[in-house]
Amino acid sequence: MKVAYELNQVSRYEKLRENVSHILAQAGEKDQALEFSVFKSHSDSGKGKYWNVCHPDITSTKPLVFGAVRFTIDYWRVNDQEIISDVFHNPTWKDVIVWANQQCVRAKTFLFLESLDITHTTSECQFVEVTFGS
């Protein structure tokens, strides 16, 4: 089941990239190996000069998922075994972006964050798979 979020912001793609870099810098991340790709193309008045995208509000402090969450990764892209995060409580986009970037940096790979899916729920938490593309 897809994690529910709204594509409620429209920005130039370059601005979205700057926001991701800013989030990582605020979190003390020195390296960036993650490109945020949770968006849909948006009209740019037909000139082709700028690429505008509809995307979620990644600067929001509202939880993306409520309750206890552990993130997992489609590990073949970043590791030889499954990667499972520590428990996050009411994680925001910032939590997802920082954690996913850390996994890419550790794997020394550059990947695109493409989707989030709730794979299963236990009595302790929900498991959300972070899906990457290249």
Instruction: For residue range 54-86, list pLDDT tens digits in order.
Output: 899 999 999 999 999 999 987 666 777 788 999
pLDDT of residue 43: 59
- Using CA atoms, how far residue 117 sits from 2, 21, 26, 60, 93, in Å, is 4, 24, 26, 20, 14
Tell me the pairing of strands 111-121 and 126-133.
antiparallel
pTM over 0.95: no
pLDDT at position 90? 97
User: Which structure tokens are listed for 31?
Assistant: 């390296």
At residue 76, the pLDDT reads 67
Query: Low-confidence residues of the chain, pLDDT below 70?
Result: 42-50, 75-77
Per the DSSP assignment, residues forming a β-bridge with 68 are 89
Q: Are 16 and 35 in contact (CB under 8 A)?
A: no
Query: Which pLDDT belongs to residue 39?
Result: 86
Q: Where are the domains of the chain?
A: 9-133
* The pLDDT value given to residue 49: 63
pLDDT of residue 107: 87
